[in-house]
Amino acid sequence: MEIRFISPYLLLILCVWRIHSSPVIKDAAERQAKVEELQKYFNKSVDPCEDFYDYVCGNYATYHPATLDEPGTGMLETLQSRLDEKIKTILESDNKDENDADKKVKRFYRSCLQVADLKDKYPAKLKEIIKEFGEMPALVGEDKWKESDFDWLEVVAKIVHQYGLSILVKFEFSTDFVNNTLNRMYVSEQDFDLPRELYVGEKGDVIAERMPPAYAGRLSEFLGIEEDVALKTATEFLKFERSLAQAMFDQHAGDKLSETYVLHSLDEAQEKFAPQFDVKRFVELAVGTLPNLKIYTDDDYLANMFEAIKTTPPKVLANYIFYRLANGFIMDIPETKEELEETCLTRMKKYFYKNFDNMVYRKYNSRETEQGVQDMWSHIKAAFQKQLQSSHLNWLSEETRQYALEKLKRMRLDIISFKDTNFSEIMDPLDFKAEDYLGNLQKILSAQAIYDRRHLGEMARENDYGETLSTTPSYIYVENAIKVPVAMLQPSYAWSASFPNAFNFGVLGSLLSHELIHGFDGEGRTFDAIGNHRKWWDENSNKLFKKRSECLIHQYKDFVYGGQNLSEMPNQDENIADNSGVRLAYNAYLNWYDNTAEGDKKLENFSGMDFNYRQLFFTSYGYLWCSDFYSKLRTTLMAIDIHVPDKFRVLGPLSNFEEFAKEFNCPVGSKMNPAKKCEIY
């Protein structure tokens, strides 16, 4: 055996390295970093009983100011940003463990980074795509365009068949929300570029004036249409789009699935919508056959669409349809490499969100974090069970309460890792070219359309919910399940084994509790324990629920943001989830604390935070919503978001929570302890 000499100096280095790399040292460093982060956001000059949000988050904007380029900053935005960094790292590096699907996604990314080389070829390529389905009047010239050759239904249906793009109507296959063992066809509103609130009323008038030049610029740049023709074309079809948008789904008004969709057989739908809409012909062109499935239709939207089409010249309708088709392939080319990488990543999330989340999960997943999330979920479920069984919720009838317990028992939490997803079915046939972004985009859209048709008639696939699940947890009604994305598993933000559980429950626990409450809010309580839509509340409990919700309506409309009162929203589901969620998370934390022999042992190591464990919970909840929003866009935010501004996601729930007032010694009548409080659960 060979004996090697190790110098005392090297031994000293090794000892220091081992000390600094030990879990104990790392935990202490992580805790201290979080304490320093929290402390710098505080505005201690503010009375926490007057404005707890400003007390906790008053200096947040100093460190994370919103700009026009980054209009919103906050913890959830930070989580998304860090996730994007991880995805970029994976896309730009070689990995011996990557599979064929990973390699193809990376090749697509490289083709996107080279899109600037296609700039001169863009118009010709887009014209080829348009020509697959007909002629665009603004391209060929209105005097040469033949109206007799244009059939909007045929064009739209064939685009669905080839690329799965929704124009005028969205046509898709998904779970029947009344019976989730079945799959149904859905015909509803198309995907609009803007929220409903920016199409209707005074804001719609402003947008109608400002938008045509922007759309005209795209028509000129990417399709080579002369500027005056482009402006005239954009002005005409945007007027049509605005008329379409008048019947968009209105979440602020509390529109519900059961009130929006009507179920028909194909024969019934054919009879109902003839002659404006030949449903059977549309379905056969879109699918390639007439499937033996019933169809859900958004009748109000379709009626409005028929009227809009009837009063719109065919050439305007044709220009609109073909612009929407081309726009599915247009990508504005940024000037810098960094902006291009960000743009490519954003675009790719529409097609590869499952691949991205799975790639990040495989590389960065921590079993400790996953287990921590599941353990917290168990405590939250147990706490809500305790609430349902207590006299605190005696406004619920016994029958409704017992079924609520059954629904809670069956509710589950899933980590969205897509680890069991078969990526090869879509990806194997694809041959992406590193220098052909547009061709690659055609291939992935066509492959997805083929995949959807191939699985026609099967039950809707679980976890197939789109890129909206990339950052925050979400409650899925038809599964009675909460889905937690991999973004939420990133350490040191929403949860850490190093942190006191007062922090973990205040942040992650509040988010999970918020989603649990969605199972029992205005929409969620219309779905049963297995995820089917049905009435299971008795009439008296139903009336009391609505009365309690009205309290929130009156309370929140008195909050002032950006110099004006918040709008009065009939839909209070998000405020219900915020108010009841923080109560639930707090109760879950106290139950955990009371049943843990050593208590919250890491609290004493959270040095510098001069709060007891209950106060730290509320402080952490406030920190969750620390944010800044670009001032010139605040009015727009208020109009389009079904959530209230983050400030009021703290002030509203905590001013309604007597335990908060108790812990911070807020006198009755102070802003954070009003005499009249609203409470649901």
Q: For residue 430, which of 421, 441, 438 has the smallest C-alpha distance?
A: 441
Query: How buried is 517 (Cβ within 10 angstroms: 0-12 exposed, 13-18 middle, 19+ buried)?
Result: buried
| 3-class secondary structure, 528 | coil
- What's the pLDDT score for residue 14? 30
Report the predicted TM-score, pTM, of the whole model to 2 decimal places. Answer: 0.91
Assess whether pLDDT exceeds 70 at residue 511: yes
Beta strands 261-264 and 560-561, pairing class: unpaired
Please state, rounded to an integer, the average pLDDT across all residues of the chain. 91
Chain centroid offset of residue 369 CA: 22
* CA 338/CA 367 separation, integer angstroms: 33
Token pair 């925050």: residue: 472
% pLDDT > 90, the chain: 78
What is the pLDDT at residue 567? Answer: 85
Q: Are 284 and 185 contacting, i.e. CB atoms less than 8 angstroms apart?
A: no
Task: State which amino acid sits at residue 407.
Answer: K
Retrieve residue 595's tokens. 């049943």
Mean pLDDT score, 222-226: 96
> What angle is formed at CA 395 by the lines to CA 394 and CA 401, rounded to 5 degrees?
65
Tens of pLDDT, residue by residue over 458-502, are 765 554 554 455 689 999 999 999 999 999 999 899 999 999 999
pLDDT band at 6 (very low <50, low <70, confident <90, very high): very low
Of 232-241, 566-575, 604-613, the one with minimum mean pLDDT is 604-613
| DSSP assignment letter at 43 | -
Segment 521-533 mean pLDDT: 96
**CA 473 from centroid of its chain's CA atoms:** 9
pLDDT bucket at 282, cuts 50 / 70 / 90 = very high
Mean pLDDT of 578-592: 98
Tell me, what's the pLDDT at 23? 57
3-state helix, strand and coil shares in percent for the chain, rounded to the nearest 5: 60, 5, 35
Question: Is the pLDDT at 268 greater than 90, yes or no?
Answer: yes
Place of tokens 């066509």: 446
The secondary structure of residue 176, as a DSSP letter, is -
Rounded Cα distance, 213 and 611, in Å: 55
> pLDDT exceeding 70 applies to what percent of the chain?
94
- In 3D, which of 91, 593, 569 has the Cα closest to residue 344? 91
The three-state secondary structure class of 397 is coil
Of the candidates 324, 141, 312, which has an alpha carbon nearest to the alpha carbon of residue 219? 324
Q: Where do the H-state alpha helices sit in 291-366?
A: 299-310, 314-327, 337-364
Q: Say if residue 185's pLDDT is above 80.
A: yes
Q: Flag whether pLDDT at 643 surpasses 80.
A: yes
Q: What gap in Å lies between CA 521 and CA 253, rounded to an integer? A: 15
Give me the pLDDT at residue 10, please.
29
Q: What integer pLDDT is reported at residue 463 of this predicted model?
A: 45
Helix (H, G, I), strand (E, B) or coil at 436: coil
Task: Give 407-422 pLDDT, tens digit per residue.
Answer: 999 999 999 999 999 9
Give residue 95's pLDDT: 82
The letter for the amino acid at 672 is M
Residue 524 contacts residue 572 (beta carbons within 8 Å): no
**101 C-beta neighbours (distance < 10 Å), count:** 22
pLDDT band at 20 (very low <50, low <70, confident <90, very high): very low
Greatest C-alpha distance within the chain: 93
CA distance 368 to 371: 5
How sure is the predictor about 241, in pLDDT bands with cuts at 50, 70 and 90?
Answer: very high
Phi, psi of 189 (to 5 degrees): -70, 150
Q: What pLDDT, on the 0 to 100 scale, is given for residue 17?
A: 31
**Helices (DSSP H) in 21-133: which residue ranges?**
23-41, 52-57, 60-63, 75-91, 100-113, 122-131
At CA 197, angle to CA 193 and CA 199, rounded to 5?
A: 60
State the pLDDT at residue 428: 94
